[in-house]
Structures are given as C-alpha cells and as structure tokens.
Structure 1
Amino acid sequence: MTYDNFKESGVLTTMLRSAIAAFGFLSLAVPVMAAGPGGAASGTIAGEEIELSVWTEQSDFTSSSFSIYFRAPALRERGLGNLSLGAEWIGDLDSDFFSAEIDIPILDTDPYRIYRADLDDELSLTITSASHQGGVLAIAGQVQGVLTSMDRIALRNPDPDDTLNVSLTFEAVLSELQ
C-alpha cells in the first residue's frame, strides 16, 4: 500500500487520533510537577523601583517557617547586600505569623550594620497564596514596612532616623530545608 492509499483509507487519521487520545489520557495520569526553585520580587525600596530574584541556594522552608533571600545588582549599586525575608507560624501558613522579619545588610560598614524591621516594628507581611507538595513550597505575597538602620550585633540603633521604606510583591518556589 502506498502512502497515498494509506492516507485515503483513513488509517493514518485513525492512528493519529488514537495517538492524541492516548497522550491525553496519559497526561491526566501523570501528576503535575511543581516548578523548580526560584522566583522574583518587585516593588520599591527607598521609593525607587526594583526587581529582585530569589537566591535559590540560600532560600528554604520547614513545616513552620520560610526564609527567602533576594538579590539584584541594583542593591549592590546602592551599597546594600541581599534582602532576606523570614517568617514563622504555628498551624497553617495563612499570614498569622508569630514572627517575621526583613533585613538588608549595609555594605562596607564597621561595625556591621543592617536595615531591619519585624512585626513589632509594624512590618506587614501578607501571604496571597501558598501550596506545599513533594518538598516544594510555592508562595506568593506582599511585604512592606519601614526598616531602620542598626548594628547587626545586639541590634543597637544609634540613628533612628536612618530608615528605608520597602514595599514588595513576591513569588517564590522554595525547596525544603534538608
């Protein structure tokens, strides 16, 4: 049978339809794989627009906490290090945190200084979505607050007027802490 006869007999069309149907059923049976670790944040720091990426090698989560490190060349250009965001909760991850903090190291300072805020400093952290599957946490949210410059050791604050406003929306996919 030649290709034209094969095509005209409808066998080719039937085989193609069967293959498409089989693939469709197979795709329903295979669980959806979560995206790999990564993510981003965008918003403002000190009133300037910024785009940050998740530093996957340093970011992780446990059953009651997460820690996300964000980095961008724009932070270094401003004399700042990587921004870290962390939170702890009891029960479900639903924005009811018993602790949360954000900090950004100030590079080339002695003693070592950071901009920092936590829930006691009116830091606002809202989780807009979160799902956990197979050792991966997909999380999205918003964080905003006024970070105050302080010594990293003992968190002393000799200059309470040295502040940094932060307002970010973020999405991250994190691997479980091993």
Structure 2
Amino acid sequence: MVDRTQLSVLTLNCWGLYFPSKDRRDRMAAIGRHLVDASPGYDIVGLQEVWLYEDFLLIHGLVKKSLPFARHWTSGLFGSGLVILSKYPIVSTSLRRFVLNGDPLPNLHGDWFDGKCCASTVIAHPTAGTIEVFNTHMHATYDPPGTLDVYLGSRLAQAWDMAVLLRTAKALGRHVIAVSTKG
C-alpha cells in the first residue's frame, strides 16, 4: 500500500504594482483574508508581484496562524515580488537571478529592473519529507497576440534555468513543486 500525502498549493499573481494602482493595499488585505478563510486551507502558497515589503508584512500578518513560515525575496531595483508561505517549517531558501531578463530600454516594462529570478524554499513536511518549492515570475508578454513576441527568448532562457534547478532538486531526492506566472 502506498502512503499518499495530499497538499493544497496555491499560486497567485497579486498584481502588486505600487503605481498606478490606488487599491493595492486593499487588494493585498483581501488576498490575505482569502488565504485565512479558504477551506480547508492551503499548505503552501506561492505569490508573485508582492513588490513592497509592507505588503508582504500585511499578508503574512493576516495568515501567520495558518501559514506561520514565510519568505519574501528582494532582487534587482524593485525587488523580485516573490513570496512563499508555508504551513510547514522552512529549512532553507535561495534565490537565483535569471541570466536573461529582457531589455532595460523600455523602462515602463520594468522586467529588466525587477531582476527576474527563481526563488526556492526547502520545506520539512512531517510525512512527505523534504519538499523544495520553486516560485518564479517570468518575463511579461507586451506584444499583442499574433505578433512577434520580442521577449520569447528571455522566457525560454528563464524556463531552461528553472528546469536545471528542478532537475537538481529531484536528483537530491527532494519532492519538487514549481509555481509560476508570466506577467
């Protein structure tokens, strides 16, 4: 008989742009309340675009009874916006910046300045053992559908970088969970 461990995992792009969004703080509070009210609740949550540390503190303050273990990463000029919340203890964390991050010239796109990366959290689960959770927010698509995607190469390189990390974690005998959004 195989012992199966079930986990409830959520990934969510919080759209935490601090400009021009007027309702960012209300949205972050609503996300935190949803995580608290979810039934039966989440074991692991990967959030993207939580750019401001104060937004991370707001969300984690609301959920810390059910998801007491948390990590917020910073990278680049504006931060990575990546967060992992966990019901289970976090053993270690790491962050790997992607080699390709788009182009700095279209500064309103912001991806190059954000320092796109892949965050990793090693979690100690009581029955499953070691689980490594990867969270990323790959380069956004700014081109209309059906036109040339000038950032496709960046996203393909980012996916390759992440695949190498996932294979390494698996080779170490860890269970692997990957969460991601594309801006």
Scaled by the length of structure 1, what TM-score is found? 0.31
Between Structure 1 and Structure 2, which shows a larger proportion of strand residues?
1
**Per residue, is there more helix in 1 or in 2?**
2
Structure of higher CA gyration radius = 1
Comparing both chains, which one has the higher relative contact order based on Cα–Cα distances under 8 Å and sequence gaps of 6 or more?
1
